[in-house]
Amino acid sequence: MYHKQRGYLFFMQQKYKDAIDALKQTLKLKKEDSSVYTILADSYFRIHDYGNALYNIEIALTLAPLDEFSITLKAHTLWVLNRKEESLITLNRAIELIPQSGILLNSRADLFRKSKEFDKAFKDVFEALSIEPDHPTFYRTLAEIYGDNNEIESFYVNLTNALSGGLGIIEMRTARDAYQRFKKEERFIELLRSFNLYSEEIFHDEIPSTGIGIIQHSGEDNPS
């Protein structure tokens, strides 16, 4: 579908308002596509329009109640709206239904990191990695937990693993809070340069964290 393809392309180019316009056109013709509502919600999230993000993700979950990316996005939207208990309840219930979901475990680990519950964060992310041992976003989360917990060598080891696995800089920017202390360190700069990812503006603007990572919208949900 033309508008859906344009919407996904705009999203990947970080042109979120254009993505929203294109995806709204898609929904005029096809209102039962849950993936369109998910990417529309994520686009709203990334421009800080959390009300519309939550509205569209609820529709997505009505159409596809066990979609891991939609569940994750709902949880992180609730988190930034300071509805933190609801956020964790959302993930807890989903993990009960899909216990082998590395995506959901990783997302809960990210929320535990943000609340400084590092033991719980480590437990979840290690379990996620036992399910999908090569997932770069999970290594990113692990690196961020180590960084927040002042385990610097482990931070760099796992961030290197994530980057070697194909982690993109946009994903790092969605967890901007985790990198503020490192962004002026020569070791950090050189690591990003070694993967051709460094620029001085990398962490200048804030993209709120979804715990998903931009590449997670590839795969099944790609436009047809």
pLDDT tens, residue by residue, 39-73: 999 999 999 999 999 999 999 999 999 999 999 99
Task: State the chain's maximal CA–CA distance in angstroms.
Answer: 52
Domain parsing of the chain, residue ranges: 100-224
Using one digit for the tens of pLDDT, what is the confidence trace for 95-137? 999 999 999 999 999 999 999 999 999 999 999 999 999 999 9
CATH top-level class for 100-224? mainly alpha
CA–CA dist 29, 16 (Å, integer): 20
Out of 67-76, 96-105, 136-145, 171-180, least confident range? 171-180
Chain centroid to Cα 131, Å, comes to: 18
Handedness of CA 166, 172, 178, 184 (dihedral sign): positive
